Amino acid sequence: MKEAHPNPNLEDRSPKPSAPAINREVRHLLGKAIHHYRLVEDGDRIAVAVSGGKDSLLLLWLLRERLKWIPARYDLLAVHVDPGFDSRASEILKGYFEQEGFEHRIIHTDHGLRAHSTENRENPCFLCSRLRRKVLFETAREAGCGKLALGHHQDDLIETFMINMLYGGQMAGIVPRQPFFGGEMVVIRPLVLLPARKVEQLARRLRLPVTHNACPSADRSKRLEVRRMLEALYDSNAKIRGNIFHAMSNVNLEYLPPPIDASGHGAANLMQVWLDKACLPGGGRANAVGAASTPERARP
């Protein structure tokens, strides 16, 4: 009897959907993000972090597919950092990269195991992702890449924003374009305008070799809790999702309270931004509180 392929998606030899089959909306949202946030330029060499999940696999696939639609040229390098739980995932990815002709690097590590060992006193994901990011930067730099593409989509941005607010006490999220080391390396997120459901639909239609994350923390993160909470909100009102995304770049500091403790550098900066935005003569806190508390306009 013929032995089953470890990933049925790779075993399936039937023709796969090509560029014209890609939803026009996906092409539009990808192109819009790339142009609007200046993510990719002609001649770029881009390392694409591929975890084996649908988001990063689709990102890699779309970035290559896009080369058929546009006159610009860029190189792609797929980089997979194996966290060390189960090497089958990296074997499946290696097979896929080779089959599809992607230039690639696979780096085996023990990051996931170290993150769950007694030596680690932090949140496992915090340490694991910090170590992974370091390896990604090093690999990208050694391979001559000036950009590192990550597969975060629109729902990741919303979830991160909510996690930071609910559990970190700050209004912060993740951005589409983020320079590091004085601009020597730029992290880009070309999927930021794509909703998770579109990513999932397309990854399934393309039969991308999505691998299972064997990490024990994979199914019990704060992100999952927040995702479920958000889904319940979206069910109650379909506009909420779009409104949260819009709110992230539509901040009205005039109707937000200034920081109580402005002793830290970040807090002092925020206070200054707040004072500038609020256009307060002299910038006194008494004035500020008065200005912020006047009209009802800020209420929806």
Listed ranges 62-70, 98-106, 173-181, 215-223: which one lies at the site for ligand SF4 (CB under 6 A):
215-223
* Angstrom distance (rounded) from CA 54 to CA 194: 13
Would you count residue 109 as binding ligand SF4 (CB under 6 A)?
Answer: no
* Angstrom distance (rounded) from CA 162 to CA 70: 35
- Ordered DSSP codes for 192-214: TTS-HHHHHHHHHHTT-------
Minimum gap (Å) between residue 115 Cβ and ligand SF4: 5
Among 131, 123, 128, 114, which residue's Cα sits nearest to residue 222?
123
Among 115, 158, 208, 210, binds ligand SF4 (CB under 6 A): 115
Binding residues with ligand SF4: total (CB under 6 A): 10
Minimum gap (Å) between residue 116 Cβ and ligand SF4: 7
Would you count residue 107 as binding ligand SF4 (CB under 6 A)?
Answer: no
Minimum gap (Å) between residue 157 Cβ and ligand SF4: 18
Listed ranges 139-147, 149-157, 214-222, 274-282: which one lies at the site for ligand SF4 (CB under 6 A):
214-222
Among 158, 190, 185, which residue's Cα sits nearest to residue 172?
158
Residues 30-89 touching ligand SF4, rule: CB under 6 A, are 83
CB closer to ligand SF4 out of 120 and 201? 120
* Angstrom distance (rounded) from CA 121 to CA 35: 41
Which residues contact residue 165 at a Cβ distance below 8 angstroms, ignoring those fewer than 6 apart?
171
Minimum gap (Å) between residue 1 Cβ and ligand SF4: 35
Would you count residue 163 as binding ligand SF4 (CB under 6 A)?
Answer: no
**Is-contact 209 9, C-beta < 8 A?**
yes
Q: Residue type for 234, please?
A: Y
Would you count residue 218 as binding ligand SF4 (CB under 6 A)?
Answer: yes
Listed ranges 24-32, 120-128, 228-236, 279-287: which one lies at the site for ligand SF4 (CB under 6 A):
120-128
| Complete edge-to-edge strand list for the sheet that includes strand 147-149 | 104-108, 75-82, 45-49, 147-149, 185-188, 177-180
Would you count residue 112 as binding ligand SF4 (CB under 6 A)?
Answer: yes
Among 215, 226, 270, 292, binds ligand SF4 (CB under 6 A): 215
Would you count residue 201 as binding ligand SF4 (CB under 6 A)?
Answer: no
Give the distance between the most distant pair of CA atoms in the chain. 82
Would you count residue 124 as binding ligand SF4 (CB under 6 A)?
Answer: yes
CB closer to ligand SF4 out of 83 and 176? 83
**Is-contact 209 57, C-beta < 8 A?**
yes
Among 128, 202, 206, 270, binds ligand SF4 (CB under 6 A): 128
Minimum gap (Å) between residue 111 Cβ and ligand SF4: 7
Minimum gap (Å) between residue 127 Cβ and ligand SF4: 8
Cite the DSSP H helix spans in the chain. 8-11, 24-36, 54-66, 87-100, 111-115, 124-142, 154-168, 196-205, 222-236, 240-248, 265-278, 285-293
* Residues of this chain that bind ligand SF4 (CB under 6 A): 83, 112, 115, 124-125, 128-129, 215, 217-218
